[in-house]
């Protein structure tokens, strides 16, 4: 079976707003549009792994347990636009934060 892969990551395809060509090389983070900011995600899935913080040191480690909305095949959130309805504490990263 032949599987055709897009050269662009899913975040690029799902974004409804146009992205400036090679914006990641020319536009400072604080000047990116929300769509460009979201498109920076490379889909590694690390953000969606549960983590533990050691009380005594404050050190944070990844666990092997993923959020229930993470698709383990694609490393993408299955309900990203409405994820906070299901996972209220999912962190929304912004240039400011
Ligand atoms: S809700 Fe979606 S984006 Fe947030 S941690 Fe879970 S899988 Fe990741």
> What are 55-80's pLDDT values in tens digits?
999 999 999 999 999 999 999 999 99
Q: Whose CA is nearest to atom 1 of ligand 1?
A: 83
Q: How far is the CA of 29 from the centre of ligand 1 (A)?
A: 22
How confident is the model over 11-52, as pLDDT tens digits? 444 546 789 999 999 999 999 998 999 899 888 899 999 999
Q: How far is the CA of 37 from the centre of ligand 1 (A)?
A: 16
Examine the pLDDT at 82 and tell me if it is beyond 50.
yes
Give residue 92's pLDDT. 86
Cα separation, 89 vs 77, in Å, equals: 14
């Amino acid at each position: 079976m032949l599987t055709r892969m897009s050269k662009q990551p899913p975040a690029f395809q799902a974004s409804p707003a146009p992205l400036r060509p090679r914006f990641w090389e020319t536009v400072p983070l604080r000047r990116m549009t929300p769509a460009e900011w979201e498109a920076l995600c490379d889909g590694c899935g690390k953000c969606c792994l549960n983590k533990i913080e050691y009380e005594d040191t404050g050190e944070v480690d990844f666990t092997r347990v993923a959020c229930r909305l993470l698709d383990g095949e694609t490393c993408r959130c299955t309900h990203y636009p409405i994820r906070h309805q299901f996972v209220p504490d999912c962190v929304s990263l912004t240039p400011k934060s």
